[in-house]
Amino acid sequence: MLRSEVRADDFLVAQSKSMKAVAAQVAEYADGDAPVLITGEHGTGRELVARVLHQKGPRKGSRFVAVRPTFEGADIPHAAGDDACERAHRALRAASGGTLLVKDVSDLSGASQKTLKRAIRDRRSATPDAHDVHVVATADIDVDRAVEAKIVSKDLYDLFAARRIEVPPLRDRVEDLPPLFERWIKHYSAEVDRTKPTVSSRAHERLAAYPWPGNVAELKSFARRLLVRVSRSRIEAGDVDEILPKVAARVPLEDLAFEEMVKSKLAGLLARIDGYPVHDLYEKVLARVERPLFDLVLAHTGGNQLKAAEILGLNRNTLRKKLAELGMKQKKQKPGREDRALDEA
């Protein structure tokens, strides 16, 4: 949670192309009018985007109220025995004139979806239940499938569809990682009244190499833990290595040596067959290697087995036998002079 004096848009870093697109949509939709849907993986900062929408719009002087799918939230008073629809109306009244953020809209009950849909459609009417509220919702990236499965009402989704903001995962916006990390280090340093430590370039390289499955939420937690553990004025690569989970480096296939590529595949195979009775692994592996090898060499020679055997360093009859054992039937072709000579020998 941000300190009250900190603005949410201070943390909406947009140096990457994908986040610049998000920032442009925020500027366009921050008119406090039609509903906005913010989608993305958990931890990407969907609520942060919603708060920036509120801060940049004409409703910034009014309340920003965030609720869970049950319409419960820190700003909503609890009443014993109430139902979700009653809580929905209470949340709408609490956010009147401002912004109501409904988190994880895919988890709304059917009755709550109907209540929210009516509230959006009637917000400008003169009915007693009308509330002048800018409704913003968050959802997972598979919200379209939830609509197809009728978990989310299509009528409700259609009210949001025209204004949908897709927040990219942190791994797809690596350009934003250094300034974002620096801002969280500065934020937590201020919380403990400490001078912000500098971050070495090698430490930033370590951060960029990590895939951040928990997205910005994981980065925030990591920055806080790092600041607690490092008392020096400079954060080094070794400090990052001590806390970040160890992950195997992903190397492009074309950059691997052939032996390393085979070893990598075999390591996965051995892990999958662990605990199962296997007695002919050697033969199975050889067959899996020979089949694509023979396929490629025969394609290279246009099906000429004599030339293929020469390239492979095999006797032609040995090649024929292996092809038969592997069930690799070759298309009959008009024999060349070499083939006829061998057949007649």
CATH number of the domain where residue 219 is located: 1.10.8.60
Domains held by the chain: number? 3
2 found inside a domain:
no
Q: How many residues does the chain have?
A: 345
* Whether 316 and 239 share a structural domain: no
pLDDT in tens, 274-286: 656 677 778 778 8
Q: Residue 154 has what pLDDT? A: 95
Which CATH number do you get for residue 266? 1.10.10.60
Quote the pLDDT of residue 256: 62
Predicted pLDDT of residue 2: 47
Whether residue 248 lies inside any domain: the answer is no
Burial-class residue 109 by CB neighbours within 10 Å (0-12, 13-18, 19+): middle
Provide the domain limits for residue 43: 8-168
Same-domain pairing of 137 and 148: yes
List C-alpha distances in Å: 129 to 59, 135, 179.
20, 15, 45
Pair 120, 189 in one domain = no
- Runs of H (alpha helix) within 30-142: 46-56, 84-94, 110-121
Q: Which helix (H) or strand (E) is 101 found in, with range?
A: strand 99-102
The predicted model scores a pTM of 0.69
Q: In the chain, which residues have pLDDT < 50?
A: 1-6, 333, 337-345
What gap in Å lies between CA 292 and CA 332, rounded to an integer? 20
Burial class for 158, CB neighbours closer than 10 Å (0-12, 13-18, 19+): exposed
How many whole angstroms separate alpha carbon 204 and alpha carbon 326?
A: 51
Q: What is the pLDDT of residue 34?
A: 94
